[in-house]
């Protein structure tokens, strides 16, 4: 099977297994999702979900974040990795959201990545989750690892991995593929102990059963 056929098969199998996958971050509106995604860089969703209820009640709007006292904002996200830098970026994000975008999240990667704290991966997640827009493919630590094991890329840089995946996976699968790969990496093809026996991809994966 050539690589493109393999990628399509993988995307199809993932779609059958994870239909309409959603983020595990908790949120009630667009701003909350964007903030949760920003906080989730190099931090588990579980940890983010522990701090966001109080954070959102204290800072319910972009304006509240823009005017936040930086010490108090840092304390509000204590427990999240790199909380000091993230607090600074959240405050700046609030300011940019007001000055550049009138408080409305933009709907392109190019514009979203102008917001402090929003890198390409976060922009992809925001577009996927809020509006089902797939301008690219989400590449986080799970997607990087699983893509390598599946033989879809030999790259280690997330941007290059995304380019490889975008060339191989048909565009109509991108939205589903992103969410499904994150969940698959989190619960099946885990870093330490991939569960190849239970994996729906084990017939199309060159790494299947090579970890014992
Ligand atoms: S077969 Fe194993 S290595 Fe391949 S994707 Fe599934 S769990 Fe990961």
Task: Please provide the DSSP assignment of 78-98 as one string.
Answer: TTSTTHHHHHHHHHHHHHHHH
Taking the C-alpha atoms of residue 145 and residue 130, their distance in angstroms, rounded to an integer, is 25
Q: CB–CB of 128/179 below 8 Å?
A: yes
Residue list, ligand 1 pocket, CB within 6 Å: 146, 149-150, 188-189, 194-196, 199, 201-202, 205, 207-208
The number of C-alpha atoms within 13 Å of 212 and in the hemisphere containing its C-beta is: 5
Nearest CA to ligand 1 atom 2: 196
Question: What is the pLDDT at residue 20?
Answer: 87
1 band by pLDDT with thresholds 50, 70 and 90: confident
Fold observed for domain 3-21+137-198: Endonuclease Iii, domain 2 (1.10.1670)
Q: In a mutational test of the pocket of ligand 1, which residue from 143, 208, 209, 211 has the highest number of ligand atoms less than 8 Å from its CB?
A: 208
Probe residue for ligand 1, chosen from 143, 152, 195, 199 as the CB with the greatest number of ligand atoms within 8 Å: 199
Could you tell me which of 108, 201, 193, 119 has the C-alpha nearest to residue 162?
119
The pLDDT tens digits of the residues spanning 79-135 come to 999 999 999 999 999 999 999 999 999 999 999 999 999 999 999 999 999 999 999
Residue for token digits 């830098």?
85
Domain ranges of the chain: 3-21+137-198, 30-131
Q: What is the 27 CA–ligand 1 centroid distance (Å)? A: 31
Q: Which of 41, 81, 38 is CA-nearest to residue 59?
A: 38
Distance (angstroms) between ligand 1 centre and the Cα of 197 equals: 8
Would the pLDDT of 18 be above 80?
Answer: yes
- What's the rounded Cα separation, in Å, for the pair 34 and 94? 11
Give per-residue pLDDT as tens, 153-166: 999 999 999 999 99
Checking if the pLDDT of 212 tops 80, the result is no
d(CA 187, CA 41): 19
pLDDT of the residue at 11: 98
* Distance of alpha carbon 161 from alpha carbon 139, whole angstroms: 7
Confidence band, pLDDT 50/70/90 cuts, at residue 211:
confident
Taking all residues of the chain, what is their mean pLDDT, rounded to a whole number? Answer: 96
What's the gap in Å between 75 CA and the centre of ligand 1?
A: 40
- To test the pocket of ligand 1, the residue of 207, 210, 211, 212 to mutate (highest count of ligand atoms within 8 Å of its CB) is 207
Hey, do 3-21+137-198 and 30-131 end up sharing a CATH topology, with the first three levels equal?
no
The CATH class of the 30-131 domain is: mainly alpha
* Percentage above 70 pLDDT, the chain: 100
Centre of ligand 1 to C-alpha 149, Å, is 7
Query: pTM of the predicted model, to two decimals?
Result: 0.92
């Amino acid at each position: 099977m050539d690589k493109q056929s393999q990628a399509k098969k993988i995307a199809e199998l993932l779609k059958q297994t994870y239909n309409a996958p959603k983020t595990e971050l908790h949120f009630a509106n667009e701003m909350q999702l964007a903030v949760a995604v920003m906080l989730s860089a190099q931090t588990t969703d579980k940890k983010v979900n522990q701090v966001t209820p109080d954070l959102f009640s204290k800072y319910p709007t972009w304006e509240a974040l823009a005017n936040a006292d930086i010490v108090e904002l840092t304390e509000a996200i204590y427990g999240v990795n790199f909380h000091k830098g993230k607090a600074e970026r959240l405050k700046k994000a609030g300011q940019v959201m007001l000055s550049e975008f009138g408080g409305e999240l933009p709907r392109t990667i190019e514009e979203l990545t102008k917001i402090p704290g929003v890198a390409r991966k976060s922009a992809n997640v925001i577009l996927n989750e809020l509006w089902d827009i797939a301008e690219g493919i989400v590449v986080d630590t799970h997607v990087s690892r699983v893509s390598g094991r599946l033989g879809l890329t030999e790259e280690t840089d997330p941007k290059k991995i995304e380019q490889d995946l975008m060339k191989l996976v048909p565009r109509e699968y991108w939205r589903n593929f992103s969410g499904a790969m994150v969940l698959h990496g989190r619960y099946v093809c885990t870093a330490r102990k991939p569960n190849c026996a239970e994996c729906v991809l084990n017939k199309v994966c060159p790494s299947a059963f090579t970890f014992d």
